[in-house]
Structure 1
């Protein structure tokens, strides 16, 4: 038996926010002082580093569990299954449901329970739960689903990655321009078809790295001190990712027994174009190779960084021919990799 993704779906919000839309923002430094250069310069440097031209935000009447439900419906339809046959619903996110204008996240009941409710699943043995694993959450959910299926505890799982980061960003922090909203979902099940998950790797670095991404106060010192926003030490994260992710990818590939020359695509978390390029280049350098052209598809230019949703969304778009000049076809060898808050790293080698 092989364990495969038999259906995929995604939800990309309709609201497009371009870099130019940040022109009127008042960006401040960590001490609360205005930046010494114009927002036009901020936006230009931002685009050069991250590759982001625009991102997507959800409409004000939607929350994370809503867009996850939309993606889940599409994955179920794509797999052509009865949702009552699902054994697990595993939902990766970071902040729960945050309503527009609210100052609290809503995590009770779990977002997975809400999606199960919205899908109108009656089966009580369909177990629904959330995982908080930073940006690698969807990949970790897939790894957990694989373990359930291999052990005989499940036959079919729904794994979701969804986030509405636009609700937790500090408007005075230029890093807020990175983040976006979105949802991706996949059906994971055992099958006699060739391919599937060939190997996986996961690690958590917490001794010195646990708080490289965290919740902190606004850079605007007049803001309510009890309201927190997503914050990061960008340079330290870049250095950590460059030092740790390529090695995890290498170890995962070695476990799979696949030759690096047979890797068709690398689907890496869409965090930052320059960082992702550096990670993949370092990975190939570990094998004394130059990075092949077009091996690393990117969606960040138009969709931004939607955390747990970036990889399943990218996968879905490619599989369905909706990403310009980048597709996935049966037999392709794909290396998934992600890094994020925790700090967590994981990778999967997968044959389409």
Structure 2
């Protein structure tokens, strides 16, 4: 028996926020000084670095658990299973449900419990819990599910990555343009089909790196706003990711009998186009190999960085043939990898 992803689903909110929609924002540096460049220059530079042209925001009536439920229902339908047969529902997120115009996280009850309620699952032995692991949360949830199944604690799990980052961004911070909302879900279960999860790896770097992503006050010092928003030390994260993510990807692959030439697609957290390209280039450099054309599908241009939702959403879109010039075929070897707050890194090798 193998452990495979047998169903996928994603929910992409309808509200489109284009780069030019940030033209009326007033951006400040971390020290409170006004950024000297015009917004046109700031936005153009942002586009060149991140690749982001637009992003999606949830409607005022939607919350993170709503997006999670909508993606979960699609995954359940795609797998053609009875939700009552689920042993675990694992919801990866970072900020809980955050109502519009607030930045306070609501995590009681857990988002997983809310999803289970919305799915109308009666089975009390379907265990629902939340997972906070930064942007790599969905991959970590898949690793949890695999562990439950391998230890005979479960046969079928639902793993969701969902976030509404638009609710926790400082509109005076240019980094706010990176973030978006969305949800992706997957059914993980035992199957007689070939392939499945081959190897996994996870790591947490916390001595010097734990506060590279953090909650902080607005950069507009003249404001009376006492709320806290998501903040990051972008240069430190970039350097950290380039140093450690390729090594983790290599360690994950080297645990197997497969060669780097066997990898057909790399599905990496969609955080920053230039950073992702640099990570993949350095990964192949560790094997003294050139990066194959079309190895790294991207969704960040139109969807932005939706944290834990980026990879499961990307995977679902590829399978549904909604990413141009990218397909996954039976037997293909895929490498999933992510990095995020913690700082956490993880990866898994998968045969479709």
Bin of the TM-score, shorter chain as denominator length: over 0.9
How far apart are 1:102 and its partner, in Å?
A: 2.0
TM-score (norm 1): 0.99
- Rounded to whole Å, the distance in 1 between the matches of 2:5 and 2:188 is 5
For 2:224 and 2:149, how far apart are their aligned partners in 1? 47
* Aligned match of 1:339: 339
Q: Aligned with 2:255: secondary structure?
A: helix
What is the SS of the residue equivalent to 1:256?
A: coil
Alignment of 1:149-164 (within 5 A): 149-164=149-164
Indicate the residue corresponding to 1:79 in structure 2: 79
Instruction: Measure, in 1, the Cα distance between the counterparts of 2:234 and 2:303.
Output: 20
Structure 2 Cα separation of the partners of residues 46 and 16 of structure 1: 17
Equivalent runs, 1:25-174 vs 2, <5 Å: 25-174=25-174
Name the counterpart of 2:288: 288
For the residue of structure 2 that corresponds to 1:167, the secondary structure is helix
> What per-residue deviation string (whole Å, max 9, x for no partner) do you get for residues 52-71 of structure 1?
00000011110000010000
Q: Against the structure 1 CA distance between its residues 32 and 122, is the aligned structure 2 distance closer, same or farther, given a 3 Å change threshold?
A: same
Q: Deviations over 1:272-315 (max 9, x none)?
A: 00000000000000000011111000000000000000000000
Report if aligned partners of 1:319, 1:329 keep a CA contact under 8 Å in 2.
Answer: no
Q: TM-score, normalised by structure 2?
A: 0.99
Q: Provide the residue aligned with 2:212 in structure 1.
A: 212
Query: What residue in structure 1 maps to residue 242 of structure 2?
Result: 242
Q: What per-residue deviation string (whole Å, max 9, x for no partner) do you get for residues 292-346 of structure 1? A: 1110000000000000000000000001111111121211110000000000000
State how far apart, in whole Å, the 2-side matches of 1:170 and 1:148 are: 39
What residue is the counterpart of 2:261 in the other structure?
A: 261
Determine the structure 1 residue equivalent to 2:196. 196
Distance 2:13 2:109 in 1: 24
| Gap regions ≥5 residues in structure 1 | none
1:306 is aligned to 306
Q: Distance in 1 between matches of 2:113 and 2:59?
A: 22
For residue 236 of structure 1, give the secondary structure of its aligned residue in structure 2: helix
Residue pair 1:162, 1:183 contacting (<8 A) in 2 also:
yes
1:18 paired with 2:3, answer no
Q: Single out whichever of 200-209 and 254-263 deviates more from structure 2.
A: 254-263
Tell me by how many angstroms 1:224 deviates: 4.0
Deviations 1:238-273 (A, max 9, x none): 000000000000000011221100100000000000
Q: Give how far 1:226 is off.
A: 3.4
Distance 2:245 2:103 in 1: 34
Q: For residues 65 and 50 of structure 1, what CA distance do their matches in structure 2 show?
A: 28
Q: Provide the secondary structure at the position in 1 that maps to 2:219.
A: coil
Alpha carbons 2:103, 2:229 under 8 Å: kept = no
Determine the C-alpha separation between the residues in 1 that align with 2:163 and 2:224: 24
The Cα of 1:223 is off from its aligned counterpart by 3.2
Q: Paired residue for 1:279?
A: 279
User: Is 1:351 the equivalent of 2:341?
Assistant: no
RMSD, matched Cα: 0.7
Equivalent residues, number: 352
Distance in 1, matches of 2:160 and 2:103, equals 25
Q: Matched residues in 1 for 2:110 and 2:327: separation?
A: 34
How far is 1:105 from its partner? 1.1
